[in-house]
Amino acid sequence: MSGHSKWATIKHKKGALDAKRGKIFTRLIKEIAMAAKSGGGDPEGNPRLRTAIAAAKAENMPADNIKRAVQRGTGELPGATYEEITFEGYGPGGVALLVDVTTDNRNRTVSEIRHMFTKGGGNLGESGSVAWMFHKKGSIVVPKSAAKEDDLMNLLLENGGEDLNDDGESWELITDPGAYEGVLDAVKKAGFEVAHSELGMVPQNYIKLEGPAANQMIRLLEAIEDHDDVQNVFSNFDVDQKQLEEVAG
């Protein structure tokens, strides 16, 4: 769940999502509950809940789990009381980071996230310090082997998308939030493989790191994403595919 498709692609390649399926389920359950809490339990009238349920189904989460998560969010079933926090800060080389968490213990989570930033060569910033560098967008990653550029560009334009990025081994389709579901549905109906998709924060510009600074940044991202309370991490970090693969092993 990263703001940059290269990072998403390499995680997909090394099987991190499958290896942590239990953790993925936990994060999705939290997101479904928070979406239902904030916008009601009917996905037809709650776009955030609709997106969260679609993500859960994509991970083959059982329907009963989804239903219980919705009911916890609406208060029909008892459960932990969560709050959402977004941390802003910088990693090695001045890379901007947005970290979304859902926690039942604010003080513990703040302390742990701050420690991760410091240990990883970064530092937490004030609210608003880096958020201005990002825009909320839909991001859909399709392997180059699965689709031709012209086909995706036509599909993007026909369904209200915004841009198509060449990310080395993948295409990244960018949409505004309102067009995200329509473009994603169109990509799937066309039979194109979707390696990763999310509605999140996309940076206006990227900072490319190399060598030790890039390795340190990758380790920081992995540590943050591995935290139980972290829902999403968005960054303006860029790195060569070869170096990503070397670090990923």
* Model pLDDT for residues 137-164, shown as the tens digit of each residue: 998 989 999 999 999 999 999 999 999 9
For 221-236, what is each residue's pLDDT tens digit? 989 988 989 998 999 9
Residue 80 is predicted with a pLDDT of 78
Q: What is the pLDDT of residue 196?
A: 81
How much is the pTM?
0.79
Q: Which two tokens stand for residue 153?
A: 């560009």
Average pLDDT over residues 184-189: 92
3-state secondary structure of 91: coil
What's 86's DSSP letter?
E
Count of CB atoms situated within 10 Å of the CB of 115: 11
**Cα distance between residue 187 and residue 156, in whole Å:** 9
Q: Where are the domains of the chain?
A: 5-74
Helix (H, G, I), strand (E, B) or coil at 119: helix
Encode burial over 165-174: b for 16+ CB neighbours within 10 A, e otherwise: eebebbbbbb
CATH number given to 5-74:
1.10.10.200
* 228 and 23 Cβ atoms separated by less than 8 Å: yes
**Separation of alpha carbons 66 and 210, rounded Å:** 41
Under the banding of pLDDT at 50, 70 and 90, the label for residue 67 is very high
Do 138 and 177 contact (CB within 8 A), yes or no? Answer: yes
